[in-house]
Structure 1
């Protein structure tokens, strides 16, 4: 889609990077933001067609400046995530959960507010939540609340900001660098176990989820929708 401009927040790895690459393959000009200089340097080497920016998505002022430097943005994609907030409710550290909300929910909402002045009238906002928002797995009450809060933005904003479209994509288990701290053997065992239960019989790749993100961002008939790209996790028990 030549002539279109995308901004992917958290786009230097995982689902964000896969999304940026797919949007670029459609012909869009794609800007990618991230905090990690090393990842941005790697991005410049591996994907010179992507325009990298070092920016903290948790800083609305910096995001506003970044958006203004890009000028008109057609597709805003927010793939920022965190690694905290999981555990039995009896043991859940509420300060940790607050940090988790700061790292994801408030970043998503702050990004929308910061970039909104630069969004084109027929543009789109695509958020990334997680299937924990609708699942009943023990130990995920904090994560469920966090991702449900992200998804809770979608429907009212789709009406409030119309004709700008607002959607979210809800992935399940995805094989991304998020798992890099888990030993290889333990990660493979977990993936094999879950793949055996999922109706799709496989663990998703970042590209799988990115295809759903690109659809949500670019399809002009989709708004107020949460696309579930979870391999059917919501249909079975993974506990």
Structure 2
């Protein structure tokens, strides 16, 4: 696999960075992108073999310039996410939800369109959604719709873009920097509560989900598939 080239959008932290590291361990040349120069500098110090790019994946012009700079891509991984869109539907600010769609759904779709001319014919596209797409938790209608929209791209594009493979990975609760804004005591209490309910009896870390992303990206027999990496959350009630 040493001749393969991967691009991980949102690859400077969390699931994206863990995925980039695992793909690099397979011998691929791995490009990562992010908007935060500080994070890029930190990754450059800890993972000098990863090729960092400061780029906004939600900006179509910047995205096109990025993929044109890389020129040829075998594995496209899109881990763009946001922190907005959650709350009871009666109180949900629709402008906030539109921003959430801009940050995730439109970024995923824009990344596919920008990278498509540069993807190898035996390459792959791997998206990252979330288990809220299929769960019935109160207060998650906005997030559910957003992630269901991302997952809705997978099956038609797997047929339309064949032989390029298209998959998604659907994580549940994951201990990543996404939770950094939550007070430490509250975060630990939440994780402990959820872990006691999950069949896996543990809250995932980024490497757990990244392993599923790498499988989806590299396994030539997977396409049109949504891999659920949620510790069994879909099987129980977390409400």
Q: TM-score range by the shorter chain?
A: over 0.9
1:140 aligns with 2:140: yes
Q: Could you tell me which residue of structure 2 aligns to residue 73 of structure 1?
A: 73
SS of equivalent to 1:120: strand
Aligned to 1:215: 215
Which 5+ residue runs of structure 2 have no aligned equivalent? none
Deviation at 1:86, TM superposition (A): 0.4
Structure 1 position 173, deviation (Å): 0.2
Shift of residue 61 of structure 1? 1.6
Give me the whole-angstrom Cα distance separating, in 2, the residues matched to 1:50 and 1:112.
Answer: 21
Within 2, Cα distance between the matches of 1:4 and 1:114? 19
Pairs aligned (count): 239
Structure-2 residue corresponding to 1:150: 150
Q: Deviations over 1:143-183 (max 9, x none)?
A: 00000000000000000000000000000000000001111
Aligned mates of 2:91, 2:41 — CA distance in 1: 40
Question: How far 1:68 sits from its partner (Å)?
Answer: 1.1
CA contact (8 A) 1:131 1:171 kept: yes
**Distance (Å, rounded) in 2 between the aligned partners of 1:60 and 1:124:** 20
Looking at structure 1, the residues matched to 181 and 91 of structure 2 have their Cα atoms a distance apart, in angstroms, of 23
Which residue of 1 is the match for residue 44 of structure 2? 44
Check conservation: 1:5, 1:30, Cα contact below 8 A.
yes
Question: For the residues of structure 2 that align with 1:226 and 1:190, how far apart are their CA atoms?
Answer: 26
Residues 204-224 of structure 1: CA distance to partner in whole angstroms, max 9, x if unpaired? 000000000000000000000
Aligned-partner Cα distance in 2 for 1:181–1:142: 20
Match of 1:231 in 2: 231
TM-score computed with the length of structure 1 as normaliser: 0.99
SS in 1 for 2:223: coil
Equivalent residue, structure 1, for 2:35: 35
1:76-107 CA-to-partner distances (Å, cap 9, x unmatched) read 00001000000001111111100100000000
Equivalent residue, structure 2, for 1:63: 63
Contact 1:88 1:138 in 2 (8 A): yes
The TM-score normalised by the length of structure 2 is 0.99
Shift of 1:42: 0.4
Q: CA-atom RMSD, angstroms?
A: 0.4
Unaligned runs of 5+ in 1: none
Q: Which secondary structure does the structure 2 equivalent of 1:52 belong to?
A: strand
Name 1:131's counterpart in structure 2: 131
Q: Which residue of 1 aligns with 2:102?
A: 102
Alpha-carbon distance in 2 for matches of 1:63, 1:122:
22
